[in-house]
Amino acid sequence: MGEVIRVEDISRTYLMGEVRVPALRGVSLTVNEGDFLIITGRNGSGKSTFLHQLGLLDRPDTGRIFLRGRDVTSMHERMRAEIRLRDLGYIFQEFALISELTALENVMLPAMMLDGTASCKKRALAILEMLEMASLRDHLPSQLSGGEQQKVAIARALMNDPSLILADEPTANLDSVSAAEVLEIFRMLNSRGNHTIVMVTHEQEETVYGNRVIKLSDGRIVSETAGSAFL
Amino acid sequence: MRHLKRTNKWTLAFIIFLMSVAFINLVFINSLFQGVIETDHRQLISTTTGNIMLSPREEGALFGGVEDAVAKISRVEGITGVSDQIVLPAVIEREESRKNIEVWAVNPSREKRVTVIHEKVISGYYFRRDNEPGILIGKRIAYDEKPGGRSLIVKESKSVALQIAGESIELPVLGVFETLSDYADSRAYLPRSVIEDMFPEYRDKATRIIIKAAKRGGEEELVKKLKNTGLPGKFVTWQEASERSESLTESFVTINALLTSVGFMIAAVTIFIIMYVDITHKRLEIGILRALGIKSHIIATTFVLQTIVYSLFGVMVGAGLFFGIIMPYFRWKPFIIPIGDVKLAVVPADFISRAVAVVLVAIASGLIPAIISLRKRILDEILGR
C-alpha cells in the first residue's frame, strides 16, 4: 500500500481576540492508499482543523505535510489550488453548494476548469446516476433535502476522480436514514472505487465504517485503533 | 449569465437601476451644459451675428457701398441671407418712462432671411414693408417686469418717442418680440429708411453686415471664400464675433468639467459600494470555489464579467430612460434662462465616453472587492469569519 499523505509534527494555533488557542499540537500521521480513516474526538478537539490541513485549506504553523511524497506545506497557493482541484475531494458538513447552480452544474463545476463542458456533463451525469440522483439533476440546492444536497456534494468531490476524499462531519446535518445512505456511499467508494477516505465524525457508531480510527483530544492524537471494517 | 439569471430578480433590477442612475447623472450634467452652450450659440447666430459677420476694420466706423457689398456676398455659394445693419444708441421715451437702448436699423426683408426676429413677435406684427415707419421693440423694453423698476412700459400700437444723436422722432410701436435672450430682447428694430430720412449720411452705409450660411459648421471655409470678394472690412465667424459668448462658453466648459469630475466620483463610489456589497454577499461562494481549487484569477474574472454585464445593462437602461423620458420631457418643458430656452443636448463622443467610464469603473469596482476577498483565508470565507 503506497503512502498517500504523511503528516509530520504539525501544530496550529488560532488567535481568538488576544487569546492564543492551540488547535493542533504536534500531530503526526500517515494515510495509505485504500485507507478509510475516521477521525473522532469531542468538539474543540482539533478534528476539523486537522482535516483543513489535510485538505490544504489552511497551513500549519509548524511541521510538514507530504502528499504522495511532495511537501505541500510551503507550496505556492496556486499550486495548492491545483492539487485541491485534481487530487483532493473535499466534502463539507454544510454541503457548500452554490445556491444559484443546479445539482448537475454544481457537480460539473470543478471539472469545467479542466475539461470541455460536454465531457464534464457526461461524467457528472454518470456520477449522479451512481448516487441515484440523476432525476434531481436540474434541481437547485434549495429544492433538495439535506441528504440529497450531501450526495450532490459527494458527486462534486468525485468529479475529478481524486485519490483522496476528505469529509468533514458529512452526516452532522442529516437525518439517520440519509446519514446511513451517505456512509454506505463512502463504504462503496472505498471498497469498490478504491478511494482513500479520511472522514471526521463525532458519532461513535460511524467509526464502524473505517478501517482505522484515530481519536483527537486537545489537539493531539490520543489513540489509534483498527475500525470494524478492518475486522 | 446563468448565474445572473438565477440571481434574485429584485436584487438584479436594483443593481442595474443604481448603475443606470449613476450613468444618467453623468450624462445629464453634461447634456445640460451642452444644452446651455448650444442655446447660447443658437441664439447668438439667429438673433445677433448670423453665421458670419462683416465689420469695418476700425471700431465704430461705417461701411460704404452697402448695396454692392450685399449683392457680392449674396452671390457666394453657401450663403442664404445677407442683412446690413446700422446700430445706434438711442433713448426711448413714453410718458414718464425713458430708457437707453440700442436701435438696429435694418432692411426688414433682408433681416428676415438672416435672423429669427420676425418669428418671435409675441404681439403686433413684424414690418410689412421695408419702409414702413414704426418700431419693433424687445420684450425687456416693452414690459416692466420688476415693480418699481425703470423699464419702459409700452403697449403695442401706441407711439413712443425716440432720440437718436440729438434728433427726435415719434414712431408707432408695430410689435413686441421675445427671443428669450436678454441681450436680443433689450434692443429695438427700425426700418433703415427711417434712419436714412433722419440722417441722410447713413444712405448706403452700415455698421456691419451679417450673413447666414446654408449650414452651420463650415463658417471658416465660407470666410475664406468671402475674403476673395475683395470687400473691405473684417469677415469673422460667429465665434470670433462674440467675445461674450466665448467667455460664457469657456465658463460653462469649466463648470461642466468640474461637475463632471464630481459626477464621476459619485458614480465611482456608488458603483463601488454596489459591487462591494454584492461581492461581500458572495464570500461563501468565493470560498467554496477556492476550496474546490478554482484558480483565483478565474474567480476574479467571473466577478469582473458579472460587473461588466451589470454595467452594460445599467448603461442601456440609463440610455433608454434618458432618451425615452428625460430628453423628451426637457424638449417639452425646457429650462428658461436669460440666454434662452435650454434643452438637453447630447454630444455623441461625450455620451460614449461616459458609458465607457461607467463600464471601466464597474470593472474596477468588481475587481477590487474580489481581490480583497481572494486574499482572505479560504476558511474565513467559507465560515464567514
B197 is a domain residue:
yes
B317 pLDDT higher than 60: yes
B190 and B317 part of one domain: no
Average pLDDT of every residue of chain A = 90
Chain A residue set in contact with B, beta carbons under 8 Å: 52, 55, 57-58, 77-78, 81-86, 88, 90, 92, 96-101, 105, 109-110, 113, 140, 156
B317 is a domain residue:
yes
The predicted pLDDT at position A231 comes to 45
B49 is a domain residue:
no
pLDDT tens-digit series, residues A63-81: 999 999 999 998 999 999 9
CATH number at residue A39: 3.40.50.300
Q: Which of B205, B232, B261 is the last residue of a domain?
A: B205
B200 and B274 part of one domain: no
Q: Which three cell numbers stand for residue A107?
A: 457537480
Confidence of residue B148 (pLDDT cuts 50, 70, 90): low
Angle at A84 between CA A80 and CA A87, to 5 degrees: 115
A118 is a domain residue:
no
Instruction: Count CB neighbours of A204 within 10 A.
Output: 9
Residue A183: give the domain boundaries: 3-96+145-226
DSSP codes joined into one string, A43-81: TTSSHHHHHHHHTTSS--SEEEEEETTEE-SS--HHHHH
The number of distinct structural domains making up chain B is 2
B193 pLDDT higher than 80: yes
Rounded mean pLDDT, A169-197: 88
| Pairing mode, strands B167-177 and B121-124 | antiparallel
* Chain A touched by B283 (CB under 8 Å): no
A140 is a domain residue:
no
A120 is a domain residue:
no
User: Could you give phi then psi for residue A224, rounded to 5 degrees?
Assistant: -140, 130
Confidence of residue B47 (pLDDT cuts 50, 70, 90): very high
**Residues contacting residue A191 through CB under 8 Å, at least 6 positions apart:** none
B68 is a domain residue:
no
**Residues contacting residue B124 through CB under 8 Å, at least 6 positions apart:** B136, B156, B157, B173, B174, B175, B176
Total CB pairs under 8 A between chain A and B:
62
CB contact under 8 A, B292 and A55: no
The number of distinct structural domains making up chain A is 1
B273 and B145 part of one domain: no
Residue B179: give the domain boundaries: 83-205
B339 pLDDT higher than 50: yes
B78 is a domain residue:
no
- Which of A58, A81, A96 lies at the smallest CB-CB distance from B295? A81
Q: Which of B6, B289, B292, B378 to mutate to test the interface with A (most CBs of A within 10 A)?
A: B292
* CA B321 centroid distance within chain: 21
CB contact under 8 A, B295 and A113: yes
Neighboring chain B residues of A140 at a CB cutoff of 8 Å:
6
pLDDT tens-digit series, residues A104-157: 999 998 888 777 677 889 999 999 998 889 999 999 999 999 989 999 999 999
